[in-house]
Structure 1
Amino acid sequence: MSTTEQRVALVTGAARGIGAATAERLAADGHRVAVLDLTEEAGQPTVAAIEAAGGSALAIGCDVSDTDAVSAAVAQVAERLGPPGILVNNAGVLRDNLLFKMSEADWDTVMNVHLRGAFLMSRACQQHMVEAGFGRIVNLSSSSALGNRGQANYAAAKAGLQGFTKTLAIELGKFGITANAVAPGFVATEMTAQTAQRVGMAFDDFQRAAAEQIPVRRVGQPADIANAVAFFASEAAGYVSGQVLYVAGGPLD
């Protein structure tokens, strides 16, 4: 394993895509993993994959935008797996549209899941981390934080997560807690497939077009992002905090 001590990791939005890959990677590193998604059933395939590989995991249903649900979920993790020492705020949704077509519900839903969810989860978990004198918080931002047509809500939320990350690093550093963000570029997931559908392209064509613009000439895979998260979650990253790492196959403006 890549860390010197086994810990409890909590990953939100871990039923599929980047979240599932991250949960599986952290389990492979020896951590016990709480797999959070909207329903317990949704997280069971990720738990099954972890257990099949010899790891330990628990699926928990949780709406990260709901204060009571978050408190209950974190309490359940602490009781059944142990106090969370690693938190990965990955839960996210898309409600893409051009500004003049975007509804208030589209805006609020994205803000509630990405920003409110990260706030509630971080606030609940930091209590355990402070008591332990150790913590790793990793927030999933996006290259869309730099601006992206049709994603005013998503871009604002992901940019907000970067400021949130830096503030957590300042406030929590003295307690042995680091906070960092990973900002993926194009990654082949169900969410990017939705974007392809929105713009009227076949997903394979969408990926090929994206790869032509990426210096490494391929699109990202969920494991690429999980590898970056695993570094920030490790004890080896104890002197790295408040950083935003773009994992995009090349430099971004």
Structure 2
Amino acid sequence: MAQPTEPAQTSAPEPTEAEDGLSSAQQELADAIFSAMLEDDELPAAITEDQIHCLGDRVAGVFSDERIAEMGVNGAQLIEAYVDRGSFALGDDYGITDDEASEVVDRVLDCLDWRLVLAESIAAEGLPAEQASCFVSEISDEGLRATIESGFITETEDDFGLVEEEVVRAFQSCVDIRELLYQQMVLEGLSEESARCVADGMPEGLVEMMLGGPELEDDEAALEFIGELMALQNRCLTPEEMESMGGFGG
């Protein structure tokens, strides 16, 4: 008869280690990133829970326990920052080095399809999905890295972290400004007929400016421009619409 064997002895994990290899301090940051993003009602639908876990783990893994203590960062602070700003912006609140910022971006690049997420985010701002996809296809790899960095490292006033020149170039390649104006004016209460009249009759100079073209040169040009807009208003809008919209010169 076989003798009973002693159960295999397994050592308990070190108290500072989490199951996925992160220390407890790192895991706190990873969990905070996951919780904050999961509760974000405006998070693009293209981002899954598994991808959020990936983002949290990869970002937290950049910083050692000693570095986390040195920065003075904890999970509650990350959640508060995200709720307040819609981004973690670690570099705005903590002394993140350039090397750490670059490593964060390197680590999270393959967590999800960033171009798909960016396209969905841009479409949520009102741009038709097809044009949003075209816009994103025109963004360089460096521009994509800047977008990621704007979410995790440094909050920026630039659209999605993209520099103006890149936005203008992508806009010019992909966006039908007149169609965008038409849709916006319908949303603001104009009839489809009036909105189409205004969008199609919009001075070419204004369309060019909206696409990043040159500004008006002087006051005389500005007055002429306003005159064109007022004539367009009188031609396209009903009296009720002019009153509700306040007029181009109002």
TM-score by length of 1: 0.23
| More strand per residue | 1
Q: Which has the larger radius of gyration?
A: 2
| More helix per residue | 2
- The one of the two structures with greater contact order (alpha-carbon pairs below 8 A, sep at least 6) is 1
TM-score by length of 2: 0.23
